[in-house]
Chains A and B, each alone.
Chain A
Amino acid sequence: MTELLAERGHVFALTGAALIALGFYGFMAQRAVIRRLISFNVIGSGVFLLFGGTGYSAAGVDPVPQALIITGIVVALALTAFAAALAVRLAQGGDRDDGTDDGEAGP
């Protein structure tokens, strides 16, 4: 019984490994910023799943990885929010209409 439950954790851990690979591919091969952001988040949740899956036992998922995963989800969100805002700001180009720009008006 315990072995089967350990295997259950392994199913998710291996899925996590596959997700890390998938996200890695997207992060390297894709050009669109939004898609890279998505890939980065896929890597992240793959790591979390790997972490939780290997921490799984008959008593459920170890609470320490659980807490660290929740922390990780929030930190990933903070980074995604900043990256998304940065990407949009870059796309908009510099401050074109206030004169304080350093001369680089976007495309």
Chain B
Amino acid sequence: MSPGELLITALLALGVFFYAAGTVGLIRFPDTHSRLHALTKADNLGLGFIVLAAGLHWGDAWIAGKLALIWLLALFAAGMAAQLVARAALKPEPRE
């Protein structure tokens, strides 16, 4: 395995680790807001590492740039979605 491949594998593993951590938080945390906390932070970081690994794997600045843009867009979309979920959770439930 070349040093480059090793780096890519390490980045992928790191990304998967953060995804796993986010998922554990999603399952284990008690309420919506702390679950969101786990998801928005850990998963977006995980996605960042995977995007970085993918960019290095393709070894093309053009593709890497596109991937970085996708990551940025995913960050904004996740922020927006988290805001909406948090708001919905704040509203008193009509009845359960």
Direct interface between A and B, CB < 8 A: no
